[in-house]
A and B are shown apart, each in its own frame.
Chain A
Amino acid sequence: MKIKVLFFGVLSEVTGTGTKVYRDVKSIEHLNQIVTDDFPEVIHYKFKISLNNEIINGDAELKNGDEVAFLPPFAGG
């Protein structure tokens, strides 16, 4: 099972990467925990999480090929 995780804005700097692949991740909450373990600084930043281009509130199951993005507050316009 492979999940592609994207980091945008300030989080791409904090994690030092724009993309990371995780395996055997069951859910958004599980992924959030793993990402926080890998990049502890992330907890100091506000962000939302999207799953396959839709913002997720709360937990959701993940399946092979899903794309999850960590999205700091938007700043367009």
Chain B
Amino acid sequence: MTRYLTEGPVTADRITSEINKLSLRKDCGGHSIFLGQVRDDLSEGIRIGAIEYSAYEEMVNAEAGKIKKIIFTEFSDVLEIVILHAIGKVMAGEISMFVLVSAGHRDHATRACRQTVELIKERLPVWKKEIFDDETHKWQENG
């Protein structure tokens, strides 16, 4: 599996592990984290119980690399970018995506994190199937 995908939800242990690595760098002054979570929305009166994610793994590698290049170019103070997306089943309340951007200062960290999330939604070849409490499902797409 590519380093940008993880089977099942992104766990607290994995997030903690990435945060622990931050102390290895002494040139960063700010880190911005985004966590995407599965919400138990209602769709036509039926509650979403989980989302099942699938991905084109090879292309995820290629596109995540391009996203990072775009961000490093646009935000010169950014030093590290971590992108991790769940594949497989993620229950409502669990984490489906983790983005961590480290920079010399907070301005680029926060703005670059936001931009990274937007580029992931636009470019990463990932699909999601909403699974409802009655076991029916519906494919979704980003707006």
Contact = CB atoms under 8 A, between A and B. Distances in A.
Interface of A: 6, 8-10, 12-13, 50, 53-54, 69, 71-77
Contact of A74 (B36, B62, B97, B141): B141
Interface in B73-102: 85, 97
A6 B56 contact: yes
B128 interface: yes
Interface residues of B, number: 25
Contact of A69 (B59, B85, B126, B128): B59
Contacts of B54: 8-9, 12
B72 interface: no
Shortest 9 CB-CB distances between A and B: which pairs? Answer: A76-B126, A9-B127, A77-B121, A73-B141, A10-B139, A75-B128, A76-B124, A53-B59, A77-B120
11 contacts: A9-B54, A53-B62, A69-B56, A71-B125, A72-B141, A73-B142, A74-B121, A75-B126, A76-B85, A77-B124, A77-B126
Nearest to A76: B126
A72 B97 contact: no
Interface of B: 36, 53-56, 58-59, 62, 85, 97, 117, 120-129, 139-142
A50 B139 CA distance: 20
A9 B139 contact: yes
A25 to B, nearest CB: 20
A77 B124 CA distance: 8
B140 A75 contact: yes
A77 B127 contact: no
Contacts of B62: 53-54
B56 A76 contact: no
Contact of B142 (A10, A54, A71, A76): A76
A10 B52 CA distance: 12
B35 to A, nearest CB: 11
